[in-house]
């Protein structure tokens, strides 16, 4: 049996490994000259940058993938971070948030006047919510009746009063915390799947459990080590990769997939997994097929503008992950989702991998990944938006850090929503497919299988269970479960 995977993002490579482990002869077609999709890396002068993701939780999901079947032991190791993120506010407040319930509660009590016991209880509640929701919403397909008839579902239902399903994250957090700064910190987790905390249901507060209670990790060698390890595993499993090869169409006859078309030939196969953004999979690869319009027409997640700056100085005040908050947070999301433009005082995220990986920047220097959430492309003039943003970001960082950063930037590149769309084929440059801006958003993610065409599956962050590396890895595990059932593989 032959399988084709469209795209070598983390969800695509993880699907390929799993399909190969089931005995499928597996080919991955990737339009770019490199593997890993958004998890790729670039050297600019003497600086190395991870170009996409920087926050990494649940490394055990990568270990689990590397442990599938016997074979060469593939090395993958992580630093565990003591500080999840360093927060800077416009009034000069700096807060380095440690990891773990006790430490987080003590820090928020000392620095922001929160009640320590209340915070501990809250973090416990987030953990319980996460543990109740995970086996029901994250680890399995939501779209099979059988999944709804087991004890885990009843356990998850029993916790409904604690999720904050019917209020926004912001409403829940405002009630939970004394200090608006704490609310802003907890609200930020909505951006981890490209959504607005003023619209996302309180349920999504569970995202913070992974970062605050357990803590983020940083792969040794940078984020790109995730792609390197998973690619090596796929090669070890006999998966064949074809780079610079765009899939033009998915072929099917009546209701069964039978291959893919490249620009110059057709590749017959028994199974196709698309790791391409699900919206474009329908629009571009299945042009004759009517897609599930309710799902495909949901509001899209944010895009981003990233500046990659080689900075010829080292900053003690900064950590691996740093956030410089906007004073007008609600207005920032109004700009992102309604006005479709950038606010003059945006929240700025600065990631510096060279804090841990010294070889990522020359001695005494740092590699700054400076990211601002941006609206998806709807025809904005990105060149002028970027110039204005660059100047606003520099003003903000100079103001807070009391520096003249312009003079310290040694090398520089950037990426914007249009470039993002071209490079990764995400709908209008969106990073996570649909936003989670409604109560029903989890149910409006495309399933990991096609309800119309047999043998067609979907993995990656634009489908169930959602955005971020761990969820993309989970999507591939669900594809495996679906394939096992559909192809009667025990």
Given the rule CB under 6 A, which residues bind ligand FAD? 6-12, 29-32, 37-39, 52-55, 246-247, 275-276, 304, 306, 371, 420, 424-425, 431, 460-461, 467-469, 472
For the bound state, the minimum distance from the C-beta of residue 431 to ligand FAD, rounded and expressed in Å, comes to 5
Nearest to 189 by CA among 166, 167, 165, 173: 173
d(C-alpha 356, C-alpha 231), whole Å: 24
Report yes or no: 370 and 412 within 8 Å, Cβ to Cβ: no
Output 263 or 488, the one with its CB closest to ligand FAD: 263
Output 123 or 285, the one with its CB closest to ligand FAD: 285
For the bound state, the minimum distance from the C-beta of residue 212 to ligand FAD, rounded and expressed in Å, comes to 15
For the bound state, the minimum distance from the C-beta of residue 250 to ligand FAD, rounded and expressed in Å, comes to 9
Report yes or no: 116 and 126 within 8 Å, Cβ to Cβ: no
For the bound state, the minimum distance from the C-beta of residue 262 to ligand FAD, rounded and expressed in Å, comes to 9
Question: What residues contact 139, with CB distance under 8 A and at least 6 apart?
Answer: 465, 474, 477, 478
For the bound state, the minimum distance from the C-beta of residue 114 to ligand FAD, rounded and expressed in Å, comes to 26
Output 195 or 275, the one with its CB closest to ligand FAD: 275
CB atoms within 10 A of CB 411: 17
Length, in residues, of the chain: 490
* Ramachandran sector of residue 217 (left: φ over 0; alpha: ψ -120 to 50; beta: rest): beta
For the bound state, the minimum distance from the C-beta of residue 295 to ligand FAD, rounded and expressed in Å, comes to 16
Report yes or no: 196 and 435 within 8 Å, Cβ to Cβ: yes
| Strand segments (E) across 181-337 | 217-219, 240-242, 249-253, 256-261, 266-268, 271-274, 303-311, 321-324
Output 156 or 234, the one with its CB closest to ligand FAD: 234
For the bound state, the minimum distance from the C-beta of residue 79 to ligand FAD, rounded and expressed in Å, comes to 15
Output 112 or 212, the one with its CB closest to ligand FAD: 212
For the bound state, the minimum distance from the C-beta of residue 275 to ligand FAD, rounded and expressed in Å, comes to 5
d(C-alpha 177, C-alpha 428), whole Å: 36
CB atoms within 10 A of CB 316: 5
| Strand segments (E) across 209-253 | 217-219, 240-242, 249-253
Output 50 or 114, the one with its CB closest to ligand FAD: 50
For the bound state, the minimum distance from the C-beta of residue 164 to ligand FAD, rounded and expressed in Å, comes to 23
Nearest to 366 by CA among 323, 410, 400, 413: 410
Report yes or no: 340 and 380 within 8 Å, Cβ to Cβ: yes
Output 53 or 222, the one with its CB closest to ligand FAD: 53
Output 119 or 473, the one with its CB closest to ligand FAD: 473
Output 176 or 367, the one with its CB closest to ligand FAD: 367
Question: What residues contact 151, with CB distance under 8 A and at least 6 apart?
Answer: none
For the bound state, the minimum distance from the C-beta of residue 45 to ligand FAD, rounded and expressed in Å, comes to 20
Task: Give me the residues paired with residue 350 across strands.
Answer: 322, 370
For the bound state, the minimum distance from the C-beta of residue 452 to ligand FAD, rounded and expressed in Å, comes to 19
Output 176 or 322, the one with its CB closest to ligand FAD: 322
Output 105 or 239, the one with its CB closest to ligand FAD: 239
Q: What separation in angstroms does the CA of 119 have from each of 103, 114, 177, 476? A: 10, 7, 8, 35
Query: Token pair of 346, please?
Result: 């945006």
Report yes or no: 8 and 275 within 8 Å, Cβ to Cβ: yes
């Amino acid at each position: 049996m032959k399988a084709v995977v469209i795209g070598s993002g983390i969800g695509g490579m993880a699907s390929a490994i799993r399909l190969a482990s089931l005995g499928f002869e597996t080919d991955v077609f990737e339009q770019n000259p490199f593997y890993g999709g958004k998890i790729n890396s670039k050297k600019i002068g003497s600086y190395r940058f991870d170009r996409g993701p920087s926050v990494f939780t649940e490394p055990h999901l990568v270990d689990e993938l590397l442990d599938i079947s016997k074979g060469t032991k593939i090395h993958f190791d992580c630093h565990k971070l003591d500080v999840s993120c360093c927060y800077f506010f416009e009034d000069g407040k700096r807060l380095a948030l440690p990891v773990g319930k006790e430490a987080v509660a003590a820090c928020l009590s000392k620095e922001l006047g929160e009640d320590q016991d209340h915070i501990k209880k809250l973090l416990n509640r987030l953990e319980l919510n996460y543990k109740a929701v995970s086996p029901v919403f994250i680890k399995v397909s939501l779209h099979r009746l059988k999944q709804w008839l087991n004890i885990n579902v009843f356990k998850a239902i029993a916790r409904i009063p604690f999720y904050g399903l019917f209020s926004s994250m912001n409403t829940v957090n405002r009630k939970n915390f004394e200090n608006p700064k704490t609310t802003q910190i907890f609200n930020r987790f909505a951006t981890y799947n490209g959504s607005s905390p003023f619209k996302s249901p309180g349920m999504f507060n569970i995202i913070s459990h992974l970062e605050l209670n357990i803590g983020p990790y940083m792969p040794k060698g940078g984020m790109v080590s995730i792609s390197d390890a998973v690619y090596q595993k796929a090669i070890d499993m006999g998966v064949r990769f074809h780079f610079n090869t765009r899939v033009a169409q998915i072929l099917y006859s009546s209701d069964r997939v039978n291959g893919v078309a490249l620009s110059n030939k057709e590749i017959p196969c028994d199974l196709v997994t698309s790791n391409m953004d699900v919206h474009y999979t329908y629009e571009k690869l299945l042009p004759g097929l009517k897609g599930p319009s309710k799902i495909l027409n949901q509001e899209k997640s944010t895009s981003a503008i990233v500046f990659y700056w080689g900075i010829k100085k080292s900053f003690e005040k900064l950590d691996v992950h740093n956030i410089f908050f906007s004073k007008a947070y609600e207005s920032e999301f109004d700009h992102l989702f309604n006005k479709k433009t950038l606010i003059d005082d945006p929240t700025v995220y600065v990631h510096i991998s060279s804090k841990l990986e010294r070889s990522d920047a020359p001695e005494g220097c740092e590699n700054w990944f400076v990211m601002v959430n941006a609206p998806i492309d709807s025809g904005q003039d990105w060149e002028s938006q970027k110039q204005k943003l660059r100047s606003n970001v520099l003003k903000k960082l100079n103001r807070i850090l009391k520096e003249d950063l312009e003079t310290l930037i040694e090398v520089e590149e950037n990426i914007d929503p249009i470039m993002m769309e071209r490079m990764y084929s995400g709908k209008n440059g969106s990073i996570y497919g649909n936003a989670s801006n409604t109560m029903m958003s989890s149910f409006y993610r495309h399933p990991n299988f096609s309800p119309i065409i047999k043998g067609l599956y979907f993995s990656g962050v634009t489908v169930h269970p959602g955005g971020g590396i761990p969820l993309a890895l989970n999507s591939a595990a669900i594809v495996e479960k679906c394939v096992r059932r559909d192809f009667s593989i025990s």
